Chain A
Amino acid sequence: MTELLKLNNLSRRFGGLQALENVSLSIGEGEVVGLIGPNGAGKTTLVNVITGVHTATGGQVLYQGKDITRYKPYETARIGLARTFQIVQPFPDLTVLDNVTAAAIFSRSGFSIRQAQEFAQEQLEFVGLFPQANLPAASLTLAMRKRLELAKTLAMRPKLLFLDEVNAGLNSAEVEQAMSLIKKIAATGTTIVLIEHLIKVVVTVCSRIVVLHNGQLISEGDPRQVVNDPKVVEAYLGKRYSQAAKDHLKNAEVSLD
Protein backbone atom coordinates (compact mmCIF):
# COMPACT_ATOMS: atom_id res chain seq x y z
CA MET A 1 0.00 0.00 0.00
CA THR A 2 1.49 3.32 -1.06
CA GLU A 3 1.96 5.96 1.55
CA LEU A 4 -0.21 9.03 1.03
CA LEU A 5 0.40 11.17 4.09
CA LYS A 6 3.31 11.18 6.48
CA LEU A 7 3.62 13.29 9.59
CA ASN A 8 7.09 13.65 11.08
CA ASN A 9 7.18 14.89 14.67
CA LEU A 10 4.47 17.40 13.97
CA SER A 11 4.05 20.01 16.67
CA ARG A 12 1.90 23.07 17.14
CA ARG A 13 2.08 25.54 19.95
CA PHE A 14 -0.44 28.28 20.79
CA GLY A 15 1.32 30.66 23.14
CA GLY A 16 1.69 28.61 26.29
CA LEU A 17 -0.33 25.64 25.13
CA GLN A 18 1.35 22.74 23.34
CA ALA A 19 -1.62 21.60 21.26
CA LEU A 20 0.30 18.99 19.29
CA GLU A 21 3.52 17.35 20.37
CA ASN A 22 5.73 15.27 18.12
CA VAL A 23 2.94 13.50 16.31
CA SER A 24 4.31 11.00 13.83
CA LEU A 25 1.92 9.10 11.67
CA SER A 26 1.71 7.41 8.32
CA ILE A 27 -1.47 6.96 6.31
CA GLY A 28 -1.66 4.73 3.27
CA GLU A 29 -3.81 5.06 0.21
CA GLY A 30 -7.27 3.59 0.56
CA GLU A 31 -7.16 3.36 4.33
CA VAL A 32 -10.02 4.42 6.55
CA VAL A 33 -8.30 5.65 9.70
CA GLY A 34 -10.15 6.59 12.85
CA LEU A 35 -8.78 9.49 14.90
CA ILE A 36 -10.05 9.39 18.44
CA GLY A 37 -9.21 10.94 21.77
CA PRO A 38 -10.86 12.84 24.61
CA ASN A 39 -12.05 16.40 24.20
CA GLY A 40 -9.21 18.83 23.76
CA ALA A 41 -6.82 16.13 22.63
CA GLY A 42 -5.90 18.06 19.52
CA LYS A 43 -7.76 16.11 16.84
CA THR A 44 -9.20 19.11 15.04
CA THR A 45 -5.94 20.98 15.53
CA LEU A 46 -4.16 18.14 13.76
CA VAL A 47 -6.47 18.46 10.78
CA ASN A 48 -6.05 22.24 10.85
CA VAL A 49 -2.28 21.95 10.78
CA ILE A 50 -2.26 19.37 8.00
CA THR A 51 -4.60 21.43 5.83
CA GLY A 52 -2.76 24.66 6.51
CA VAL A 53 -5.24 26.58 8.65
CA HIS A 54 -2.50 26.77 11.28
CA THR A 55 1.18 26.41 10.49
CA ALA A 56 3.14 23.76 12.31
CA THR A 57 5.59 25.10 14.86
CA GLY A 58 7.69 21.99 14.47
CA GLY A 59 7.93 18.93 12.29
CA GLN A 60 6.82 18.15 8.76
CA VAL A 61 3.80 17.17 6.73
CA LEU A 62 4.61 15.08 3.67
CA TYR A 63 1.93 14.39 1.11
CA GLN A 64 2.72 12.03 -1.73
CA GLY A 65 6.33 12.58 -0.81
CA LYS A 66 6.10 16.36 -1.13
CA ASP A 67 6.67 18.67 1.82
CA ILE A 68 3.45 20.62 2.28
CA THR A 69 4.12 21.88 5.80
CA ARG A 70 3.95 25.55 4.79
CA TYR A 71 1.02 25.24 2.42
CA LYS A 72 -1.97 27.52 2.89
CA PRO A 73 -5.50 26.08 3.02
CA TYR A 74 -6.33 26.90 -0.57
CA GLU A 75 -3.14 25.22 -1.70
CA THR A 76 -3.85 21.98 0.15
CA ALA A 77 -7.37 22.07 -1.25
CA ARG A 78 -5.97 22.13 -4.74
CA ILE A 79 -3.74 19.10 -4.32
CA GLY A 80 -6.47 16.80 -3.09
CA LEU A 81 -6.98 17.40 0.62
CA ALA A 82 -10.51 18.12 1.77
CA ARG A 83 -12.10 18.40 5.19
CA THR A 84 -15.44 18.94 6.83
CA PHE A 85 -15.89 21.21 9.84
CA GLN A 86 -17.16 20.13 13.21
CA ILE A 87 -19.57 23.06 13.15
CA VAL A 88 -20.76 23.05 9.58
CA GLN A 89 -19.60 25.94 7.43
CA PRO A 90 -21.83 26.41 4.43
CA PHE A 91 -22.27 29.53 2.34
CA PRO A 92 -25.63 30.37 3.88
CA ASP A 93 -27.16 32.58 1.20
CA LEU A 94 -26.03 30.53 -1.75
CA THR A 95 -28.17 27.65 -2.98
CA VAL A 96 -27.24 24.10 -2.14
CA LEU A 97 -26.17 23.60 -5.74
CA ASP A 98 -24.02 26.73 -5.74
CA ASN A 99 -22.36 25.62 -2.53
CA VAL A 100 -21.18 22.42 -4.17
CA THR A 101 -20.44 24.11 -7.50
CA ALA A 102 -18.14 26.50 -5.65
CA ALA A 103 -16.22 23.58 -4.19
CA ALA A 104 -15.91 21.98 -7.60
CA ILE A 105 -14.74 25.06 -9.39
CA PHE A 106 -12.14 26.39 -7.00
CA SER A 107 -10.42 23.19 -6.06
CA ARG A 108 -9.42 22.34 -9.61
CA SER A 109 -8.46 24.41 -12.59
CA GLY A 110 -9.99 23.97 -15.97
CA PHE A 111 -13.62 23.62 -14.98
CA SER A 112 -16.06 26.06 -16.51
CA ILE A 113 -18.96 27.17 -14.31
CA ARG A 114 -21.29 25.05 -16.43
CA GLN A 115 -19.16 21.91 -16.10
CA ALA A 116 -18.74 22.50 -12.38
CA GLN A 117 -22.51 22.73 -11.98
CA GLU A 118 -23.02 19.39 -13.68
CA PHE A 119 -20.38 17.76 -11.53
CA ALA A 120 -21.96 19.35 -8.47
CA GLN A 121 -25.32 17.85 -9.36
CA GLU A 122 -23.76 14.41 -9.46
CA GLN A 123 -22.38 14.89 -5.94
CA LEU A 124 -25.77 16.05 -4.70
CA GLU A 125 -27.32 12.89 -6.09
CA PHE A 126 -24.64 10.80 -4.42
CA VAL A 127 -25.45 12.22 -0.98
CA GLY A 128 -29.17 12.36 -1.62
CA LEU A 129 -29.64 16.13 -1.60
CA PHE A 130 -30.66 16.57 -5.22
CA PRO A 131 -34.26 17.62 -4.42
CA GLN A 132 -32.94 20.51 -2.31
CA ALA A 133 -30.58 21.81 -4.98
CA ASN A 134 -32.17 25.22 -5.38
CA LEU A 135 -32.87 26.00 -1.75
CA PRO A 136 -30.60 28.37 0.18
CA ALA A 137 -28.17 26.45 2.32
CA ALA A 138 -29.35 28.25 5.44
CA SER A 139 -32.78 26.60 5.18
CA LEU A 140 -31.49 23.03 5.54
CA THR A 141 -31.77 20.91 8.67
CA LEU A 142 -28.57 20.00 10.48
CA ALA A 143 -28.42 16.48 9.06
CA MET A 144 -28.85 17.86 5.55
CA ARG A 145 -26.19 20.48 6.17
CA LYS A 146 -23.79 17.76 7.14
CA ARG A 147 -24.57 15.97 3.90
CA LEU A 148 -24.09 19.23 2.02
CA GLU A 149 -20.69 19.58 3.63
CA LEU A 150 -19.90 16.06 2.49
CA ALA A 151 -21.05 16.81 -1.04
CA LYS A 152 -18.80 19.85 -1.11
CA THR A 153 -15.76 17.82 -0.14
CA LEU A 154 -16.61 15.19 -2.74
CA ALA A 155 -16.89 17.89 -5.39
CA MET A 156 -13.24 18.60 -4.68
CA ARG A 157 -12.35 15.07 -5.86
CA PRO A 158 -10.18 14.56 -2.81
CA LYS A 159 -7.51 11.93 -2.42
CA LEU A 160 -7.48 12.45 1.33
CA LEU A 161 -10.66 13.32 3.15
CA PHE A 162 -10.86 14.44 6.78
CA LEU A 163 -14.28 14.03 8.35
CA ASP A 164 -14.52 15.95 11.61
CA GLU A 165 -17.30 14.66 13.85
CA VAL A 166 -19.80 14.18 11.05
CA ASN A 167 -22.18 12.53 13.50
CA ALA A 168 -22.31 15.27 16.13
CA GLY A 169 -25.91 16.31 16.64
CA LEU A 170 -27.44 13.50 14.59
CA ASN A 171 -29.96 10.97 15.85
CA SER A 172 -29.31 7.26 15.40
CA ALA A 173 -31.19 6.99 12.12
CA GLU A 174 -29.25 9.89 10.70
CA VAL A 175 -26.02 8.35 11.96
CA GLU A 176 -26.84 5.13 10.08
CA GLN A 177 -27.39 7.15 6.92
CA ALA A 178 -24.14 9.01 7.38
CA MET A 179 -22.23 5.77 7.94
CA SER A 180 -23.54 4.12 4.79
CA LEU A 181 -22.52 7.24 2.85
CA ILE A 182 -19.04 7.09 4.30
CA LYS A 183 -18.75 3.43 3.40
CA LYS A 184 -19.81 4.30 -0.15
CA ILE A 185 -17.11 6.95 -0.32
CA ALA A 186 -14.49 4.59 1.06
CA ALA A 187 -15.48 2.04 -1.55
CA THR A 188 -14.47 4.47 -4.30
CA GLY A 189 -10.92 4.34 -3.03
CA THR A 190 -10.77 7.71 -1.28
CA THR A 191 -8.52 7.70 1.78
CA ILE A 192 -10.48 8.83 4.81
CA VAL A 193 -9.50 10.04 8.26
CA LEU A 194 -12.50 9.94 10.54
CA ILE A 195 -12.59 11.98 13.75
CA GLU A 196 -15.25 10.37 15.86
CA HIS A 197 -16.60 10.08 19.35
CA LEU A 198 -18.88 7.14 18.71
CA ILE A 199 -16.72 4.09 19.32
CA LYS A 200 -19.25 1.80 17.66
CA VAL A 201 -18.88 3.74 14.41
CA VAL A 202 -15.11 3.80 14.56
CA VAL A 203 -14.82 0.09 15.25
CA THR A 204 -17.08 -0.90 12.36
CA VAL A 205 -15.89 1.50 9.67
CA CYS A 206 -12.18 1.95 10.30
CA SER A 207 -9.34 -0.37 9.40
CA ARG A 208 -7.04 1.34 11.89
CA ILE A 209 -7.36 3.69 14.84
CA VAL A 210 -5.04 6.39 16.08
CA VAL A 211 -5.45 7.87 19.55
CA LEU A 212 -4.52 11.40 20.52
CA HIS A 213 -4.29 12.65 24.09
CA ASN A 214 -3.01 16.05 25.19
CA GLY A 215 -1.55 16.56 21.75
CA GLN A 216 0.41 13.33 21.75
CA LEU A 217 -0.16 10.13 19.87
CA ILE A 218 -0.58 7.50 22.56
CA SER A 219 -1.77 4.47 20.67
CA GLU A 220 -2.47 3.14 17.21
CA GLY A 221 -3.43 -0.11 15.58
CA ASP A 222 -6.32 -2.49 15.17
CA PRO A 223 -9.61 -1.01 16.45
CA ARG A 224 -10.47 -3.66 19.01
CA GLN A 225 -6.97 -3.78 20.45
CA VAL A 226 -6.66 -0.01 20.74
CA VAL A 227 -10.01 0.35 22.44
CA ASN A 228 -8.90 -2.02 25.19
CA ASP A 229 -5.41 -0.54 25.48
CA PRO A 230 -5.00 0.59 29.09
CA LYS A 231 -3.34 3.83 28.04
CA VAL A 232 -6.40 4.72 25.99
CA VAL A 233 -8.80 3.77 28.72
CA GLU A 234 -6.82 5.89 31.15
CA ALA A 235 -6.93 8.88 28.82
CA TYR A 236 -10.70 8.71 28.56
CA LEU A 237 -11.71 7.44 31.96
CA GLY A 238 -8.80 7.83 34.32
CA LYS A 239 -6.48 5.53 36.24
CA ARG A 240 -9.07 3.44 38.07
CA TYR A 241 -10.72 2.21 34.92
CA SER A 242 -7.40 1.63 33.21
CA GLN A 243 -6.35 -0.57 36.11
CA ALA A 244 -9.58 -2.51 35.62
CA ALA A 245 -8.79 -2.82 31.94
CA LYS A 246 -5.29 -4.14 32.67
CA ASP A 247 -6.71 -6.70 35.06
CA HIS A 248 -9.29 -7.69 32.48
CA LEU A 249 -6.58 -8.32 29.89
CA LYS A 250 -4.48 -10.31 32.37
CA ASN A 251 -7.45 -12.48 33.25
CA ALA A 252 -8.13 -13.03 29.59
CA GLU A 253 -4.53 -14.23 29.13
CA VAL A 254 -4.79 -16.51 32.15
CA SER A 255 -7.99 -18.09 30.93
CA LEU A 256 -6.45 -18.79 27.55
CA ASP A 257 -3.75 -20.93 29.09
Chain B
Amino acid sequence: MSRNSLWIIVGLVGLLSLLPLVGGAYALRIGTFASMYAILAVSWNVIGGMAGYPSFATAAFFGFGAYAGGIMLAGGASLAFATVAAGLMTFIAAFLFGVVLLRLKGHYFAIGSLAVAEVLRELTNAATELTGGGMGLNIPMSLSLKSVEGEAQFIFYVMWSLLIVTLMVVIGIEKSKLGFGLRCICQNESAADMIGVNSTLYKSLAFGFSGIFVAMAGVIYAGWVHYIEPPDVYDILYSVKPIVMALLGGLGSTLGAVMGAFLFLGIEEFVWRNLLNLHTGVLGLLIVVLLLFLPKGLVSFGSSWLGKRLIRQNGGSRD
Protein backbone atom coordinates (compact mmCIF):
# COMPACT_ATOMS: atom_id res chain seq x y z
CA MET B 1 0.00 0.00 0.00
CA SER B 2 1.38 3.36 -0.98
CA ARG B 3 1.88 6.25 1.40
CA ASN B 4 -0.83 8.23 -0.40
CA SER B 5 -3.39 5.50 0.01
CA LEU B 6 -2.72 5.22 3.70
CA TRP B 7 -3.13 8.95 4.20
CA ILE B 8 -6.37 9.00 2.23
CA ILE B 9 -7.75 6.24 4.42
CA VAL B 10 -6.71 8.08 7.57
CA GLY B 11 -8.34 11.22 6.21
CA LEU B 12 -11.61 9.52 5.36
CA VAL B 13 -11.82 7.77 8.70
CA GLY B 14 -10.92 10.96 10.49
CA LEU B 15 -13.64 12.87 8.70
CA LEU B 16 -16.08 10.17 9.67
CA SER B 17 -15.26 10.65 13.33
CA LEU B 18 -16.44 14.23 13.11
CA LEU B 19 -20.00 13.28 12.20
CA PRO B 20 -21.39 13.37 15.75
CA LEU B 21 -20.32 16.99 16.01
CA VAL B 22 -22.06 17.92 12.79
CA GLY B 23 -25.53 16.47 12.97
CA GLY B 24 -28.05 14.74 15.14
CA ALA B 25 -29.55 11.29 15.02
CA TYR B 26 -29.57 11.01 11.24
CA ALA B 27 -25.88 11.82 10.89
CA LEU B 28 -25.07 9.30 13.59
CA ARG B 29 -27.10 6.64 11.83
CA ILE B 30 -25.39 7.31 8.52
CA GLY B 31 -22.02 7.33 10.19
CA THR B 32 -22.63 4.02 11.91
CA PHE B 33 -23.69 2.42 8.65
CA ALA B 34 -20.70 3.95 6.88
CA SER B 35 -18.37 2.35 9.37
CA MET B 36 -20.23 -0.94 9.23
CA TYR B 37 -20.24 -1.07 5.45
CA ALA B 38 -16.55 -0.25 5.36
CA ILE B 39 -15.84 -3.07 7.82
CA LEU B 40 -17.76 -5.52 5.64
CA ALA B 41 -16.11 -4.43 2.41
CA VAL B 42 -12.57 -4.30 3.81
CA SER B 43 -13.03 -7.73 5.40
CA TRP B 44 -14.41 -9.29 2.23
CA ASN B 45 -11.47 -7.93 0.31
CA VAL B 46 -9.10 -10.14 2.29
CA ILE B 47 -10.55 -13.33 0.84
CA GLY B 48 -12.14 -11.97 -2.31
CA GLY B 49 -9.63 -9.39 -3.45
CA MET B 50 -6.31 -10.45 -1.96
CA ALA B 51 -6.71 -14.20 -2.22
CA GLY B 52 -9.00 -14.14 -5.22
CA TYR B 53 -11.66 -16.47 -3.84
CA PRO B 54 -15.15 -15.08 -4.54
CA SER B 55 -16.73 -15.51 -1.12
CA PHE B 56 -20.46 -15.13 -0.57
CA ALA B 57 -20.13 -16.01 3.08
CA THR B 58 -20.30 -12.47 4.48
CA ALA B 59 -23.99 -12.84 5.35
CA ALA B 60 -23.16 -16.07 7.21
CA PHE B 61 -20.55 -14.29 9.33
CA PHE B 62 -22.76 -11.28 9.96
CA GLY B 63 -25.80 -13.32 10.89
CA PHE B 64 -23.81 -15.68 13.07
CA GLY B 65 -22.20 -12.77 14.87
CA ALA B 66 -25.52 -11.04 15.34
CA TYR B 67 -27.12 -14.13 16.82
CA ALA B 68 -24.19 -15.39 18.86
CA GLY B 69 -23.56 -11.93 20.22
CA GLY B 70 -27.23 -11.17 20.53
CA ILE B 71 -27.89 -14.25 22.62
CA MET B 72 -24.99 -13.37 24.90
CA LEU B 73 -26.16 -9.77 25.21
CA ALA B 74 -29.70 -10.87 25.98
CA GLY B 75 -28.20 -13.12 28.62
CA GLY B 76 -26.57 -10.17 30.33
CA ALA B 77 -23.07 -10.22 28.88
CA SER B 78 -21.27 -6.95 28.31
CA LEU B 79 -20.95 -5.64 24.76
CA ALA B 80 -17.19 -6.01 24.88
CA PHE B 81 -17.38 -9.62 25.95
CA ALA B 82 -20.06 -10.57 23.45
CA THR B 83 -18.20 -8.88 20.61
CA VAL B 84 -14.87 -10.50 21.30
CA ALA B 85 -16.37 -13.91 22.01
CA ALA B 86 -18.52 -13.95 18.87
CA GLY B 87 -15.57 -12.71 16.83
CA LEU B 88 -13.26 -15.43 18.04
CA MET B 89 -15.85 -18.15 17.54
CA THR B 90 -16.37 -16.96 13.99
CA PHE B 91 -12.65 -16.83 13.28
CA ILE B 92 -12.14 -20.39 14.43
CA ALA B 93 -15.23 -21.71 12.65
CA ALA B 94 -14.35 -19.89 9.44
CA PHE B 95 -10.78 -21.17 9.59
CA LEU B 96 -11.84 -24.78 10.09
CA PHE B 97 -14.60 -24.61 7.51
CA GLY B 98 -12.24 -22.83 5.18
CA VAL B 99 -9.79 -25.72 5.18
CA VAL B 100 -12.46 -27.80 3.47
CA LEU B 101 -14.37 -25.17 1.52
CA LEU B 102 -11.34 -23.49 0.00
CA ARG B 103 -10.40 -26.62 -1.86
CA LEU B 104 -13.13 -25.48 -4.23
CA LYS B 105 -12.52 -22.77 -6.76
CA GLY B 106 -14.49 -20.24 -8.74
CA HIS B 107 -18.22 -20.88 -9.02
CA TYR B 108 -18.13 -23.92 -6.79
CA PHE B 109 -16.56 -22.00 -3.96
CA ALA B 110 -19.00 -19.13 -4.46
CA ILE B 111 -21.98 -21.45 -4.22
CA GLY B 112 -20.51 -23.37 -1.34
CA SER B 113 -19.98 -20.21 0.67
CA LEU B 114 -23.50 -19.08 -0.18
CA ALA B 115 -24.94 -22.41 0.86
CA VAL B 116 -23.29 -22.08 4.27
CA ALA B 117 -25.19 -18.85 4.85
CA GLU B 118 -28.45 -20.48 3.80
CA VAL B 119 -27.93 -23.50 6.04
CA LEU B 120 -26.99 -21.28 8.98
CA ARG B 121 -30.12 -19.22 8.47
CA GLU B 122 -32.31 -22.27 8.41
CA LEU B 123 -30.62 -23.78 11.46
CA THR B 124 -31.07 -20.51 13.31
CA ASN B 125 -34.72 -20.55 12.30
CA ALA B 126 -35.11 -24.04 13.61
CA ALA B 127 -33.36 -23.58 16.95
CA THR B 128 -36.35 -21.75 18.34
CA GLU B 129 -35.51 -22.19 21.99
CA LEU B 130 -32.12 -20.63 21.64
CA THR B 131 -32.74 -18.00 19.02
CA GLY B 132 -36.44 -17.33 19.04
CA GLY B 133 -36.61 -18.84 15.57
CA GLY B 134 -38.83 -17.08 13.11
CA MET B 135 -40.24 -14.86 15.84
CA GLY B 136 -36.93 -13.13 16.25
CA LEU B 137 -34.68 -12.33 19.14
CA ASN B 138 -35.12 -9.42 21.50
CA ILE B 139 -31.90 -7.88 22.70
CA PRO B 140 -32.31 -5.50 25.57
CA MET B 141 -28.99 -3.87 26.17
CA SER B 142 -28.67 -1.88 29.32
CA LEU B 143 -26.21 0.88 29.01
CA SER B 144 -25.71 3.41 31.70
CA LEU B 145 -26.66 6.05 29.19
CA LYS B 146 -30.15 7.37 29.63
CA SER B 147 -30.80 9.18 26.39
CA VAL B 148 -31.50 7.86 22.94
CA GLU B 149 -29.05 10.36 21.54
CA GLY B 150 -26.44 9.15 23.99
CA GLU B 151 -26.94 5.57 22.95
CA ALA B 152 -26.73 6.49 19.27
CA GLN B 153 -23.44 8.27 19.89
CA PHE B 154 -22.11 5.34 21.85
CA ILE B 155 -22.96 2.85 19.10
CA PHE B 156 -21.41 5.12 16.50
CA TYR B 157 -18.11 5.31 18.34
CA VAL B 158 -18.06 1.57 18.98
CA MET B 159 -18.63 0.76 15.30
CA TRP B 160 -16.12 3.41 14.31
CA SER B 161 -13.53 1.96 16.66
CA LEU B 162 -14.15 -1.49 15.21
CA LEU B 163 -13.48 -0.01 11.78
CA ILE B 164 -10.15 1.34 13.02
CA VAL B 165 -9.21 -2.06 14.42
CA THR B 166 -10.28 -3.79 11.20
CA LEU B 167 -8.22 -1.39 9.10
CA MET B 168 -5.17 -1.80 11.28
CA VAL B 169 -5.33 -5.58 11.09
CA VAL B 170 -6.07 -5.75 7.37
CA ILE B 171 -3.42 -3.21 6.42
CA GLY B 172 -1.06 -5.15 8.65
CA ILE B 173 -1.94 -8.30 6.72
CA GLU B 174 -1.34 -6.53 3.43
CA LYS B 175 2.19 -5.67 4.42
CA SER B 176 3.00 -8.99 5.99
CA LYS B 177 4.18 -12.30 4.66
CA LEU B 178 0.56 -13.48 4.78
CA GLY B 179 -0.54 -10.70 2.45
CA PHE B 180 2.31 -11.38 0.08
CA GLY B 181 1.45 -15.06 0.06
CA LEU B 182 -2.22 -14.36 -0.61
CA ARG B 183 -1.34 -12.21 -3.60
CA CYS B 184 0.81 -15.04 -4.96
CA ILE B 185 -2.00 -17.53 -4.41
CA CYS B 186 -4.40 -15.21 -6.19
CA GLN B 187 -2.24 -14.94 -9.29
CA ASN B 188 -1.03 -18.49 -9.61
CA GLU B 189 -1.85 -20.97 -6.89
CA SER B 190 0.22 -23.87 -8.20
CA ALA B 191 3.29 -21.66 -8.61
CA ALA B 192 2.71 -20.44 -5.07
CA ASP B 193 2.65 -24.04 -3.82
CA MET B 194 5.89 -24.79 -5.61
CA ILE B 195 7.81 -21.97 -3.97
CA GLY B 196 6.79 -23.05 -0.52
CA VAL B 197 3.55 -21.21 0.27
CA ASN B 198 1.27 -23.27 2.51
CA SER B 199 -1.82 -22.33 0.53
CA THR B 200 -4.31 -24.17 2.69
CA LEU B 201 -3.10 -22.42 5.82
CA TYR B 202 -2.95 -18.99 4.24
CA LYS B 203 -6.34 -19.23 2.55
CA SER B 204 -7.98 -20.46 5.74
CA LEU B 205 -6.43 -17.63 7.72
CA ALA B 206 -7.69 -15.18 5.11
CA PHE B 207 -11.16 -16.69 5.38
CA GLY B 208 -11.01 -16.41 9.15
CA PHE B 209 -9.98 -12.77 8.97
CA SER B 210 -12.69 -12.09 6.43
CA GLY B 211 -15.19 -13.24 9.04
CA ILE B 212 -14.03 -12.08 12.45
CA PHE B 213 -14.72 -8.36 12.11
CA VAL B 214 -17.89 -8.91 10.14
CA ALA B 215 -19.19 -11.02 13.01
CA MET B 216 -18.19 -8.36 15.49
CA ALA B 217 -20.05 -5.78 13.43
CA GLY B 218 -23.03 -8.12 13.57
CA VAL B 219 -22.90 -8.13 17.37
CA ILE B 220 -22.85 -4.34 17.52
CA TYR B 221 -25.67 -4.21 14.99
CA ALA B 222 -27.74 -6.56 17.14
CA GLY B 223 -27.14 -4.45 20.21
CA TRP B 224 -28.05 -1.36 18.24
CA VAL B 225 -31.35 -2.48 16.74
CA HIS B 226 -32.43 -4.52 19.76
CA TYR B 227 -34.36 -7.01 17.63
CA ILE B 228 -33.12 -9.38 14.95
CA GLU B 229 -34.64 -12.17 12.90
CA PRO B 230 -33.05 -14.67 10.51
CA PRO B 231 -34.12 -13.25 7.14
CA ASP B 232 -32.84 -9.86 8.31
CA VAL B 233 -29.30 -10.61 9.44
CA TYR B 234 -28.68 -13.52 7.08
CA ASP B 235 -29.97 -11.52 4.11
CA ILE B 236 -28.05 -12.46 0.97
CA LEU B 237 -27.61 -8.76 0.29
CA TYR B 238 -25.11 -8.67 3.16
CA SER B 239 -23.01 -10.98 1.00
CA VAL B 240 -23.53 -9.12 -2.25
CA LYS B 241 -23.25 -5.50 -1.16
CA PRO B 242 -19.66 -5.74 0.16
CA ILE B 243 -18.65 -7.29 -3.17
CA VAL B 244 -20.25 -4.42 -5.05
CA MET B 245 -18.54 -1.94 -2.74
CA ALA B 246 -15.16 -3.54 -3.28
CA LEU B 247 -15.70 -3.65 -7.06
CA LEU B 248 -16.88 -0.05 -7.00
CA GLY B 249 -13.75 1.11 -5.27
CA GLY B 250 -11.32 -1.21 -7.01
CA LEU B 251 -10.82 -4.91 -6.45
CA GLY B 252 -7.92 -5.96 -4.29
CA SER B 253 -7.44 -2.62 -2.62
CA THR B 254 -8.27 -1.72 0.99
CA LEU B 255 -8.57 1.93 0.09
CA GLY B 256 -10.89 0.94 -2.73
CA ALA B 257 -13.05 -1.03 -0.32
CA VAL B 258 -13.36 1.96 2.02
CA MET B 259 -14.15 4.42 -0.75
CA GLY B 260 -16.53 1.99 -2.36
CA ALA B 261 -18.35 1.48 0.91
CA PHE B 262 -18.83 5.19 1.52
CA LEU B 263 -19.90 5.85 -2.05
CA PHE B 264 -22.27 2.91 -2.03
CA LEU B 265 -23.88 4.10 1.19
CA GLY B 266 -24.34 7.53 -0.31
CA ILE B 267 -26.09 6.11 -3.35
CA GLU B 268 -28.17 3.78 -1.23
CA GLU B 269 -29.36 6.58 1.04
CA PHE B 270 -30.26 8.75 -1.93
CA VAL B 271 -32.26 5.98 -3.51
CA TRP B 272 -34.02 5.09 -0.25
CA ARG B 273 -35.16 8.63 0.30
CA ASN B 274 -36.21 9.40 -3.24
CA LEU B 275 -36.98 6.15 -5.01
CA LEU B 276 -38.07 3.77 -2.29
CA ASN B 277 -40.10 1.55 -4.57
CA LEU B 278 -37.27 1.20 -6.97
CA HIS B 279 -34.42 0.83 -4.56
CA THR B 280 -33.53 -2.77 -5.34
CA GLY B 281 -33.95 -2.11 -9.04
CA VAL B 282 -31.65 0.90 -8.86
CA LEU B 283 -29.10 -1.13 -6.93
CA GLY B 284 -29.29 -3.69 -9.70
CA LEU B 285 -28.85 -1.00 -12.30
CA LEU B 286 -25.84 0.34 -10.42
CA ILE B 287 -24.29 -3.09 -10.42
CA VAL B 288 -24.88 -3.59 -14.14
CA VAL B 289 -23.50 -0.18 -15.09
CA LEU B 290 -20.53 -0.61 -12.78
CA LEU B 291 -19.54 -4.00 -14.10
CA LEU B 292 -20.04 -3.17 -17.74
CA PHE B 293 -18.43 0.23 -17.84
CA LEU B 294 -16.19 0.65 -14.82
CA PRO B 295 -14.70 -2.77 -14.14
CA LYS B 296 -11.62 -1.46 -12.41
CA GLY B 297 -13.44 0.75 -9.95
CA LEU B 298 -12.65 4.19 -8.64
CA VAL B 299 -9.07 3.47 -7.72
CA SER B 300 -8.16 3.21 -11.37
CA PHE B 301 -8.77 6.92 -11.70
CA GLY B 302 -5.98 7.58 -9.28
CA SER B 303 -2.82 5.65 -9.86
CA SER B 304 -1.86 4.43 -13.27
CA TRP B 305 0.05 1.48 -11.95
CA LEU B 306 0.49 -0.62 -15.04
CA GLY B 307 -2.84 -1.64 -16.50
CA LYS B 308 -4.49 -4.09 -14.18
CA ARG B 309 -6.16 -6.74 -16.23
CA LEU B 310 -9.52 -7.92 -15.07
CA ILE B 311 -9.43 -10.91 -17.35
CA ARG B 312 -7.38 -13.00 -15.01
CA GLN B 313 -8.12 -14.28 -11.54
CA ASN B 314 -8.45 -10.84 -9.96
CA GLY B 315 -4.72 -10.14 -10.03
CA GLY B 316 -3.71 -8.71 -6.70
CA SER B 317 -3.08 -5.05 -7.08
CA ARG B 318 -1.24 -2.73 -4.83
CA ASP B 319 -2.73 0.71 -4.79
Contact = CB atoms under 8 A, between A and B. Distances in A.
A and B touch in the complex (CB under 8 A): yes
Interface of A: 51, 53, 72-74, 77-78, 82-83, 85, 89-94, 102-103, 105-108, 113, 136, 138, 152, 156
B315 A92 contact: yes
B222 to A, nearest CB: 40
Interface stretch (B112-120, B162-170, B194-202, B253-261): B194-202
B316 interface: yes
B195 A92 contact: no
A77 B195 contact: yes
Contact of A106 (B190, B196, B306, B312): B196
Contacts of A113: 177, 180
Given A78-B196, A106-B195, A89 B190 contact: yes
A33 B312 CA distance: 37
B193 interface: yes
Nearest to B316: A93
B142 interface: no
Nearest to B177: A105
Interface in B174-223: 177, 180-181, 183-184, 187-188, 190-199
Contacts of A91: 183-184, 187-188, 191-192
Interface string B38-53: 0000000000000000
Contacts, number: 78
Contact of B194 (A51, A94, A136): A51
Contact of B198 (A74, A85, A94, A102): A74
A74 B199 contact: yes
Contacts of B196: 74, 77-78, 103, 106-108, 156
Given A89-B190, A89-B194, 4 more contacts: A72-B193, A73-B194, A102-B184, A113-B180
Contacts of B187: 91-94
Given A105-B177, A136-B306, A94 B183 contact: yes
Given A74-B197, A74-B199, A90 B188 contact: yes
Interface string B268-288: 000000000000000000000
Contacts of B309: 93, 138
B315 A102 contact: no
Closest A-B pairs by Cβ, 5 of them: A77-B196, A93-B315, A106-B196, A107-B196, A89-B191
A108 B197 CA distance: 10
Contacts of A73: 190, 193-194
Nearest to A109: B196
Given A89-B190, A91-B184, A94-B183, A103 B195 contact: yes
Contacts of A89: 188, 190-191, 194
B194 A102 contact: no
Interface residues of B, number: 24
A119 to B, nearest CB: 13
Nearest to A72: B193
B105 interface: no
A156 B191 CA distance: 13
9 contacts: A53-B194, A73-B194, A83-B194, A93-B316, A94-B187, A102-B180, A102-B195, A108-B196, A113-B177
B103 interface: no
A90 B183 CA distance: 12
B306 to A, nearest CB: 5
Contacts of B181: 102, 106
A85 B188 CA distance: 12
B180 A105 contact: yes
Contacts of A108: 196
Nearest to B314: A93
Contacts of B315: 92-93
Contacts of B107: none
A125 B138 CA distance: 66
A106 B197 contact: yes
Nearest to A106: B196
A85 B317 contact: no
Contacts of A90: 188, 191
Contacts of B190: 53, 73, 89
B193 to A, nearest CB: 4
B195 A107 contact: yes
Contacts of A105: 177, 180
Contacts of A74: 193-194, 196-199
Q: Which of B190, B194, B198, B199 has the most CB of A within 10 A?
A: B194
B140 to A, nearest CB: 49
Nearest to A111: B177
Nearest to B307: A136
A224 to B, nearest CB: 33
Nearest to B199: A74
A93 B180 contact: no
A93 B185 CA distance: 12
Nearest to A81: B194
Nearest to A77: B196
B59 to A, nearest CB: 30
A113 B306 CA distance: 23
A92 B188 contact: yes
